[in-house]
Amino acid sequence: MYVITDEDIRHSGDSDLPTVLRRIPGMEVMQVTGADFNVSMRGDNQLVGNKLLVTVDGRSIYVDVQGSTYWKAIPVTLPEIKRIEVQKGPASVLYGFNAFDGIINIITKSPEEIKGATAQVGGGGYGTISSAAIYANSYNKLGFRLSYGHDQNQQWRNDSALAYRDDKFNIQTEYALGDQSKISFSGGLVDVHQFDGRVTDAAVQTGVPEFGHAHAVFERPNFFIRGFWNDYEVNGLTPAHPIIAPFMRFTDRNFDPNLMLRGHTYNIEAQQGIELGTSMRLTAGINYRHNTLSMNRIDRFRSEDRLGLYLQGEWKASQTLQIVGGVRYDLDTFINPTISPRGSLIFTPMQDHTIRTTVALGFRPPTFFETYGDNLAIITLPPPLQSPPSTNVNGSGHLRPEQIVSYELEYQGWYARHRLRGRAAFFYNHISDLITTTVPAPIQGGVADIVGGEAGLEFLATKWLSGFGNFSYQEIGQTITGTSRRGGPRFKYNAGLRGQWDNGLSGEIAYHWVGAAIYPLSSAFSMFSAFGVVPPDPYVGNYHLLNLCGAYRFWQQAAADGYRREAEIAVSVFNALNDV
Tell me the pLDDT tens digit for each residue of 258-270: 999 999 999 999 9
Tell whether the model's pLDDT for residue 563 goes beyond 80.
no
Does the pLDDT at position 473 exceed 90? yes
Q: Using an 8 Å Cβ cutoff, are 189 and 212 in contact?
A: yes
Q: Which residue has the higher pLDDT, 249 or 438?
A: 249
Q: Work out the average pLDDT over 358-375.
A: 95
pLDDT of residue 230: 97
Where helices occur in 252-384 by DSSP H, the ranges are 368-372
pLDDT grade, residue 21 (50/70/90)? very high
pLDDT-derived band of residue 559, with 50, 70 and 90 as boundaries? low
- What is the per-residue pLDDT across 491-500, written as a single tens digit (0 to 9) for each? 999 999 999 9
Cα distances from 309 to residues 155, 220, 332, in angstroms, run: 45, 21, 12
In the predicted model, what is the mean pLDDT of the chain?
93
> Omega into 440 within 30° of 0, i.e. cis?
yes
At position 483, the amino acid (one-letter code) is T
Q: Of 81-85, 393-397, 468-472, which gets the smallest average pLDDT?
A: 393-397
Distance CA 73, CA 284 (A): 33
Confidence (pLDDT) at 125: 85
Cα-to-chain-centroid distance, residue 16: 12
Phi then psi dihedrals of residue 561, to 5 deg: 55, 35
pLDDT per residue as tens digits for the range 371-385: 999 999 999 999 899
- Report the candidate in 408, 355, 373 with the shortest Cα–Cα distance to residue 101: 408
Q: How many CA atoms lie within 13 A of 537 on its CB side?
A: 5
Is-contact 151 121, C-beta < 8 A? no
In this structure, the strands spanning 248-252 and 223-237 are unpaired
pLDDT value at position 413?
Answer: 97
Q: Which H or E run contains 474?
A: strand 465-478
CA atoms of 130 and 274, how far apart (whole Å): 44
DSSP 12: H
Q: How far apart, in whole angstroms, are the C-alpha atoms of residue 425 and residue 431?
A: 19
Q: Is pLDDT of 560 > 80?
A: no
pLDDT digits (tens, 9 = 90+) for 432-442: 999 998 888 89
* Mean pLDDT, residues 168-176 taken together: 96
Euclidean distance between CA atoms 325 and 348, whole angstroms: 17
* pLDDT category of residue 562 using cuts at 50, 70 and 90: low
Residue 306: pLDDT over 80: yes
Confidence of residue 482 (pLDDT cuts 50, 70, 90): confident
- Cβ-in-10-Å burial (0-12, 13-18, 19+) of 470 comes to buried
CA distance 511 to 488: 19
